[in-house]
Amino acid sequence: MRLSHFRLSLLTLATCVLAPAHGARAQARSDPTSSDTTSSDSTATVAASEVTQAFWISVGAGKGTINGSKGGSLGAVIRLNFSSGPLLLTYRGSAMDRGLDAPDGVREDAFLIGVRSTNHRVFGGAALGFASAVPAQDCNCEQPATAKAREFALAYDITAHANARILGIAFGFGGSVGPGRVTYNAFTVSVELGRFGP
Protein backbone atom coordinates (compact mmCIF):
# COMPACT_ATOMS: atom_id res chain seq x y z
CA MET A 1 0.00 0.00 0.00
CA ARG A 2 2.80 2.40 0.85
CA LEU A 3 4.52 1.58 -2.45
CA SER A 4 1.34 2.36 -4.39
CA HIS A 5 0.98 5.71 -2.69
CA PHE A 6 4.64 6.51 -3.47
CA ARG A 7 4.20 5.67 -7.15
CA LEU A 8 1.04 7.77 -7.32
CA SER A 9 2.90 10.73 -5.79
CA LEU A 10 5.75 10.45 -8.35
CA LEU A 11 3.26 10.30 -11.23
CA THR A 12 1.44 13.40 -9.98
CA LEU A 13 4.71 15.35 -9.59
CA ALA A 14 5.88 14.44 -13.10
CA THR A 15 2.56 15.53 -14.55
CA CYS A 16 2.80 18.93 -12.83
CA VAL A 17 6.37 19.53 -14.11
CA LEU A 18 6.00 18.36 -17.71
CA ALA A 19 2.56 19.73 -18.52
CA PRO A 20 3.53 23.49 -18.53
CA ALA A 21 6.61 22.88 -20.71
CA HIS A 22 4.55 20.91 -23.22
CA GLY A 23 1.95 23.67 -23.31
CA ALA A 24 4.59 26.34 -23.98
CA ARG A 25 6.02 24.39 -26.91
CA ALA A 26 2.58 23.90 -28.36
CA GLN A 27 1.80 27.61 -28.07
CA ALA A 28 5.07 28.52 -29.82
CA ARG A 29 4.24 26.18 -32.70
CA SER A 30 0.73 27.58 -33.02
CA ASP A 31 1.85 31.29 -32.90
CA PRO A 32 3.97 32.11 -36.01
CA THR A 33 3.78 35.83 -35.24
CA SER A 34 6.42 35.49 -32.53
CA SER A 35 9.19 34.75 -35.07
CA ASP A 36 7.90 37.51 -37.36
CA THR A 37 8.10 39.99 -34.49
CA THR A 38 11.68 39.00 -33.77
CA SER A 39 12.59 39.37 -37.45
CA SER A 40 10.93 42.80 -37.62
CA ASP A 41 12.83 43.98 -34.55
CA SER A 42 16.12 42.85 -36.10
CA THR A 43 15.35 44.65 -39.38
CA ALA A 44 14.47 47.85 -37.53
CA THR A 45 17.73 47.70 -35.61
CA VAL A 46 19.78 47.35 -38.83
CA ALA A 47 17.90 50.22 -40.48
CA ALA A 48 18.46 52.47 -37.48
CA SER A 49 22.19 51.76 -37.58
CA GLU A 50 22.59 52.91 -41.22
CA VAL A 51 24.52 56.19 -41.56
CA THR A 52 23.76 58.70 -44.32
CA GLN A 53 26.78 59.72 -46.39
CA ALA A 54 27.05 62.79 -48.60
CA PHE A 55 29.67 64.37 -50.84
CA TRP A 56 29.69 67.67 -52.70
CA ILE A 57 31.90 70.32 -54.27
CA SER A 58 31.50 74.06 -53.81
CA VAL A 59 33.03 76.96 -55.72
CA GLY A 60 32.69 80.53 -54.55
CA ALA A 61 34.09 83.99 -54.02
CA GLY A 62 34.04 86.60 -51.33
CA LYS A 63 35.77 89.35 -49.44
CA GLY A 64 38.01 89.44 -46.39
CA THR A 65 41.22 90.73 -44.87
CA ILE A 66 44.85 89.60 -44.88
CA ASN A 67 46.85 89.89 -41.69
CA GLY A 68 44.33 92.32 -40.20
CA SER A 69 44.83 94.87 -42.98
CA LYS A 70 42.23 97.61 -43.24
CA GLY A 71 41.89 97.33 -47.00
CA GLY A 72 39.49 94.71 -48.28
CA SER A 73 40.77 91.66 -50.11
CA LEU A 74 39.01 89.65 -52.76
CA GLY A 75 39.13 85.90 -52.61
CA ALA A 76 38.13 82.71 -54.39
CA VAL A 77 37.59 79.34 -52.74
CA ILE A 78 36.90 75.74 -53.68
CA ARG A 79 35.81 73.10 -51.18
CA LEU A 80 35.59 69.32 -51.53
CA ASN A 81 33.37 67.88 -48.80
CA PHE A 82 32.48 64.44 -47.50
CA SER A 83 30.24 63.64 -44.56
CA SER A 84 29.20 60.46 -42.83
CA GLY A 85 26.52 61.09 -40.27
CA PRO A 86 27.68 64.09 -38.22
CA LEU A 87 31.34 63.69 -39.28
CA LEU A 88 32.55 66.28 -41.83
CA LEU A 89 35.78 66.19 -43.85
CA THR A 90 36.78 69.13 -46.06
CA TYR A 91 39.57 70.10 -48.40
CA ARG A 92 39.72 73.85 -49.02
CA GLY A 93 41.77 75.64 -51.62
CA SER A 94 41.68 79.42 -51.51
CA ALA A 95 43.37 82.48 -52.92
CA MET A 96 43.23 85.98 -51.41
CA ASP A 97 44.49 89.14 -53.09
CA ARG A 98 44.34 92.83 -52.25
CA GLY A 99 44.45 93.83 -55.90
CA LEU A 100 46.86 93.97 -58.81
CA ASP A 101 48.82 96.85 -57.32
CA ALA A 102 49.01 95.39 -53.82
CA PRO A 103 52.19 93.68 -52.65
CA ASP A 104 50.57 90.81 -50.75
CA GLY A 105 48.22 87.88 -51.11
CA VAL A 106 47.77 84.33 -49.81
CA ARG A 107 47.49 80.95 -51.54
CA GLU A 108 46.29 78.16 -49.28
CA ASP A 109 45.57 74.43 -49.19
CA ALA A 110 43.76 73.28 -46.05
CA PHE A 111 42.47 69.98 -44.70
CA LEU A 112 39.78 70.17 -42.03
CA ILE A 113 37.70 67.83 -39.87
CA GLY A 114 34.56 68.78 -38.03
CA VAL A 115 30.86 68.20 -37.49
CA ARG A 116 27.66 69.00 -39.35
CA SER A 117 23.98 68.97 -38.49
CA THR A 118 22.09 65.91 -39.70
CA ASN A 119 19.39 67.61 -41.78
CA HIS A 120 19.75 66.96 -45.50
CA ARG A 121 18.22 70.00 -47.22
CA VAL A 122 19.37 72.75 -44.82
CA PHE A 123 22.33 72.20 -42.51
CA GLY A 124 25.38 73.80 -40.98
CA GLY A 125 28.96 72.73 -40.39
CA ALA A 126 32.05 73.72 -38.45
CA ALA A 127 35.57 72.37 -38.89
CA LEU A 128 39.17 72.87 -37.80
CA GLY A 129 42.37 71.68 -39.43
CA PHE A 130 45.75 72.71 -40.73
CA ALA A 131 46.67 74.85 -43.71
CA SER A 132 49.74 74.98 -45.90
CA ALA A 133 49.89 78.53 -47.22
CA VAL A 134 52.31 80.70 -49.13
CA PRO A 135 52.39 84.49 -49.40
CA ALA A 136 51.78 85.56 -52.97
CA GLN A 137 52.93 88.63 -54.87
CA ASP A 138 50.84 89.54 -57.88
CA CYS A 139 51.71 93.20 -58.32
CA ASN A 140 53.12 94.65 -61.54
CA CYS A 141 56.57 95.12 -60.08
CA GLU A 142 59.76 95.85 -61.95
CA GLN A 143 61.53 93.19 -59.93
CA PRO A 144 60.36 89.60 -60.47
CA ALA A 145 58.59 88.02 -57.50
CA THR A 146 60.83 85.80 -55.44
CA ALA A 147 59.70 82.36 -54.37
CA LYS A 148 58.44 82.27 -50.80
CA ALA A 149 58.46 79.36 -48.43
CA ARG A 150 55.24 77.75 -47.35
CA GLU A 151 53.93 78.42 -43.86
CA PHE A 152 51.73 76.18 -41.70
CA ALA A 153 48.71 77.60 -39.94
CA LEU A 154 45.52 76.65 -38.11
CA ALA A 155 42.55 76.58 -40.50
CA TYR A 156 38.90 77.05 -39.55
CA ASP A 157 35.65 76.96 -41.49
CA ILE A 158 32.01 77.72 -40.57
CA THR A 159 29.37 77.11 -43.23
CA ALA A 160 25.60 77.15 -43.78
CA HIS A 161 24.11 75.13 -46.64
CA ALA A 162 20.79 74.90 -48.47
CA ASN A 163 20.19 72.53 -51.37
CA ALA A 164 17.66 70.79 -53.57
CA ARG A 165 19.19 67.29 -53.48
CA ILE A 166 21.88 67.96 -56.12
CA LEU A 167 22.31 71.73 -56.51
CA GLY A 168 22.78 74.09 -53.57
CA ILE A 169 24.18 77.30 -52.18
CA ALA A 170 26.44 77.92 -49.20
CA PHE A 171 27.55 80.84 -47.06
CA GLY A 172 30.90 80.46 -45.36
CA PHE A 173 33.24 82.23 -43.01
CA GLY A 174 36.75 80.87 -42.73
CA GLY A 175 40.44 81.52 -42.80
CA SER A 176 43.70 80.62 -41.14
CA VAL A 177 45.65 81.76 -38.10
CA GLY A 178 49.42 81.54 -38.18
CA PRO A 179 52.42 83.60 -39.25
CA GLY A 180 51.33 87.12 -40.13
CA ARG A 181 51.96 86.81 -43.86
CA VAL A 182 49.41 84.00 -44.26
CA THR A 183 46.82 84.94 -41.64
CA TYR A 184 43.52 85.87 -43.26
CA ASN A 185 39.74 85.60 -42.95
CA ALA A 186 36.99 85.82 -45.54
CA PHE A 187 33.24 85.65 -45.98
CA THR A 188 32.27 83.69 -49.12
CA VAL A 189 29.20 82.72 -51.12
CA SER A 190 29.43 79.45 -53.06
CA VAL A 191 27.48 77.35 -55.53
CA GLU A 192 27.42 73.63 -54.66
CA LEU A 193 26.93 70.43 -56.62
CA GLY A 194 26.80 66.90 -55.26
CA ARG A 195 24.81 64.27 -53.38
CA PHE A 196 23.44 65.72 -50.17
CA GLY A 197 21.31 62.80 -49.00
CA PRO A 198 17.80 61.38 -49.55
Please state which of the ranges 16-25, 58-67, 120-129 shows the lowest mean pLDDT: 16-25
Query: Where along the chain do its domains lie?
Result: 2-49, 53-195
Question: Residue 112 above 80 pLDDT?
Answer: yes
Question: Residue 105 above 80 pLDDT?
Answer: yes
Domain 53-195 has CATH 3.30.230.10: no
Question: Residue 190 above 80 pLDDT?
Answer: yes
Mean pLDDT of 123-144: 80
Q: Return d(Cα 155, Cα 37) in angstroms, integer.
A: 51
Question: Residue 80 above 60 pLDDT?
Answer: yes
DSSP 8-state code for residue 121? S
pTM metric for this prediction: 0.70
First vs last C-alpha separation in the chain: 81
The model's confidence at residue 31, banded by pLDDT at 50, 70 and 90, is low
Question: Residue 3 above 50 pLDDT?
Answer: no
Q: Return d(Cα 155, Cα 62) in angstroms, integer.
A: 17
Question: Residue 40 above 60 pLDDT?
Answer: no
Mean pLDDT of the chain: 79
pLDDT value of position 138: 53
Question: Residue 38 above 70 pLDDT?
Answer: no
E-only strand ranges, 67-150: 73-84, 87-97, 105-116, 122-135
Mean pLDDT of 43-55: 64
Q: Return d(Cα 59, Cα 182) in angstroms, integer.
A: 21
The model's confidence at residue 155, banded by pLDDT at 50, 70 and 90, is very high
pLDDT value of position 135: 87
